[in-house]
Amino acid sequence: MPAVSSARLEARISPELQQLLKRAAEIEGRTLTDFVVTAVQEAAQRAIEQAEVVRLSLEDQQRFADALLAPPAPSAALQRAMVRHDKLLRSEE
């Protein structure tokens, strides 16, 4: 059976917080370590999701959908950029 690798995390907490965590772990029938690791993992996933997920108001959602369904005509600057892009790609061939 292959060895399972793990990393160690240490934190200094007040005795009051330790007792609170122990009580919560006991209520859920879990070890203190399991309770803390699960809570920290859930908090990390929430933090990452909040940082990476873009949330739009209903009005912004509608604007976004409208722009996808009926995009505006390309501006002159965008047209020039597309021509330059095409020239650069052709020169690489």
Q: Are residues 21 and 48 in the same domain?
A: yes
CA torsion through residues 14, 19, 20, 26, sign: positive
pTM of the entire predicted model:
0.58
Q: What is the pLDDT of residues 67-81, one digit of tens each?
A: 999 999 999 999 999
Alpha carbon separation from 61 to 1, 33, 64, 65, 67 (Å, rounded): 51, 42, 5, 6, 10
Q: Are residues 73 and 87 in the same domain?
A: yes
Task: Note whether residue 6 is domain-resident.
Answer: no
Q: Are residues 20 and 46 in the same domain?
A: yes
Cα–Cα distance between 27 and 92 in angstroms, integer? 66
Task: Note whether residue 4 is domain-resident.
Answer: no
Percentage of the chain beyond pLDDT 70 is 95
Number of domains in the chain: 2
3-state SS assignment for residue 90: helix
Q: What is the pLDDT of residues 31-70, one digit of tens each?
A: 999 999 999 999 999 999 999 998 899 999 999 999 999 9
Inform me whether the pLDDT recorded for 2 exceeds 70.
Answer: no
